[in-house]
Chain A
Amino acid sequence: MANLKAIRVRLSSVKSTRQITSAMKMVAAAKLRKAQDAIVQLRPYADKLNEIQSGLSAALRDTEVENVFAARTKGNGKVLLVVITSNKGLCGAFNANVIREAKRIMAEKYPAEAGRGDLAVMTVGKKAHDVLKKLKCNLVEDHSDLFHGLTFDRVSALADKLMQLYMTKEYDTVEIIYNQFKNAAVQKLTVENYLPVSMAVEGSEKSAPSDYIYEPDQVSIVSELIPKTLRIQLYRALLDSFAAEHGARMTAMHQATDNATDLIRDLTLQYNKARQASITNQLLEVVSGAEALNG
């Protein structure tokens, strides 16, 4: 029988752990609500923007409108991965999933580029930064501070930088890896092609382009809409990841609180049994002592 003191100490430590995890759950739930609102509000805008852009691309398919963000036939084959994780841990497999996928892409999709040193990684989130740094990946930049006050303006600055890097032929491909927010309990690991912009239109046959009037003209609309779409796409990825992070943390902390509660129940039972056994022992000693005296 484990001794009483050891169980008592263990019990109190589990209790304080439960207090912490349940407080973290509350905090994550509050932050999730805010983050979820932000992503839910952005989605209609992003969807409509995509809709307009794909309608436009369908209409422009046959015309020769130059697109600086389209795929280049002759490039240097350099690849930039943007890996989005969280700054803090304690959110289940949230970060591990993204990092595993990043490693898989490096090993399977771009082994040649990685070998040549043409594969660079940009991280948003300390977790990916720490792990990938240890693996000696070619880390170019870290934008973990972006999550401290996630605003469209700051994300736009990063998006503009990515576009700049693409236009100056620094990289030929930019891909984003992040967790998409489905609901509080479910995150969907997503890999997106960021640049070049694909002008291919899905199901373009059924949405036959209307004869739009373009103002001021097609070229300037395209050149204004594409950067706008790219900025929104990055913003959306970051908001998705942010909401997913809090969802994952809430679920993980909920689980931890439940586990602690189970443990506390078992330990309390064990403690009471041990206490009872020791009382029985003491009684036996007293009774047999008295009996020996009477005997």
Chain B
Amino acid sequence: MKIEIITPDRKIYTGEIRSVRVPGRKGSFQVLKDHAPIISTLDAGPVIIADDQGTEVRFEITGGVIEVKRNRIILLADSVVQ
């Protein structure tokens, strides 16, 4: 499963991952392999990625949109607080 996290300024993260947890408008949710296609707006909050090796990577975003389609995730973040 591939993810791309992009802000207007730069590409934050791209690569193969096992799962990602995002702060959806209706509540935080996790995307695993073969998730159904979804478009959701995101609130401010943490994005937690478990990458290929199972290492946890964490970003704080201020809002955005996520699209999941055929194991391809695009996360457009408004900005990322490091």
Which residues from chain A sit less than 8 Å from chain B, CB to CB? 38, 41-42, 44-45, 48-49, 51-52, 55-56, 152, 210-216, 220-221, 224-225, 228, 232, 235
Contact = CB atoms under 8 A, between A and B. Distances in A.
A41 B41 CA distance: 22
A210 B65 contact: no
A214 B40 contact: yes
B37 A210 contact: yes
A215 B26 CA distance: 7
Interface string B12-46: 00000000000011100000000011111100000
Contact of B65 (A211, A225, A235): A225
Interface residues of B, number: 21
A235 B7 CA distance: 13
30 contacts: A41-B10, A41-B11, A44-B6, A44-B11, A45-B8, A48-B4, A48-B76, A49-B65, A49-B76, A51-B74, A52-B65, A55-B39, A56-B39, A210-B69, A211-B36, A212-B38, A212-B39, A212-B69, A213-B36, A213-B40, A215-B38, A216-B26, A220-B25, A220-B41, A221-B39, A221-B40, A221-B41, A221-B65, A224-B65, A225-B65
Given A41-B8, A44-B11, A48-B6, 13 more contacts: A41-B9, A48-B4, A48-B67, A56-B39, A152-B8, A213-B38, A213-B39, A216-B25, A216-B26, A216-B40, A216-B41, A224-B65, A225-B41
A215 B23 CA distance: 11
A116 to B, nearest CB: 38
A51 B6 CA distance: 14
Binding site of A, secondary structure by majority: helix, strand, loop or mixed?
A: helix
B74 A52 contact: yes
B25 to A, nearest CB: 5
A63 to B, nearest CB: 14
Interface of B: 4, 6-11, 24-26, 36-41, 65, 67, 69, 74, 76
A210 B6 CA distance: 22
Contacts of B41: 215-216, 220-221, 224-225
Contact of A213 (B7, B8, B37, B65): B37
Contacts of A55: 39, 67
Contacts of A48: 4, 6, 67, 74, 76
Contact of A42 (B8, B37, B38, B39): B8
Contacts of A210: 37, 69
Contacts of B25: 215-216, 220
A45 B36 CA distance: 23
A214 B41 CA distance: 9
A215 B8 CA distance: 22
A106 B4 CA distance: 42
A292 B9 CA distance: 85
B27 to A, nearest CB: 9
A69 B11 CA distance: 29
B80 to A, nearest CB: 12
Contact of A214 (B4, B11, B39): B39
Contacts of B67: 48, 52, 55
Contacts of A38: 9
* Highest count of chain A CB atoms <10 Å: which of B7, B8, B38: B8
Nearest to B37: A210
